[in-house]
Amino acid sequence: MAVLKIPNKVKIGGHWYSVRFPHVYREKTNAWGTFNAHTLEIFLCGDDGQGARRKDTAILVTFIHELLHGIDELYFNSDLFSQNEKERECKVSVLSEAIFQVLVDNGWIVPEIDREKAE
């Protein structure tokens, strides 16, 4: 039974973005997700690039990460986190992990390991 439910569409501001999950990149990349403001799409990988399935929690953190890029692009024109791409990625990654932790701590998300212990 699949526990992770990633929506097919998500609204950020007044715009609807298509969510492509699971997405397989044709080109070689280290990215697990991307946000495209021009095509109104979010791409999320279901595997680690080597064919191994990523954990649901890792995919969810990537989804939050890409949503933050969308919010930043729409409302702050990439100025909220930084003009420097490497610094922006680092800040978005930290914030997406922090938001994920809030969701877990409040019981809105139960990670796989905790579900396995409960069974």
CA distance 58 to 62: 6
Q: Tell me, yes or no, whether 15 lies in a domain.
A: yes
CA dihedral angle for residue 15, residue 103, residue 86, residue 68, rounded to 10 degrees: 10
User: Domain residues for 35?
Assistant: 9-118
Tokens of 34: 């991307």
What is the mean pLDDT, run by run of 10 residues, along the chain of 119 residues? 73 94 80 92 87 86 94 80 83 93 84 56
Q: Tell me, yes or no, whether 108 lies in a domain.
A: yes
pLDDT of the residue at 113? 58
Structurally, the chain folds into a number of domains equal to 1
pLDDT of the residue at 60? 92
pTM value is 0.82
CA distance 99 to 87: 18
pLDDT of the residue at 17? 96
pLDDT of the residue at 54? 87
φ and ψ at residue 109, rounded to 5 degrees:
-135, 135
Q: Number of helices (H) and strands (E), helices first, in the chain?
A: 3, 4
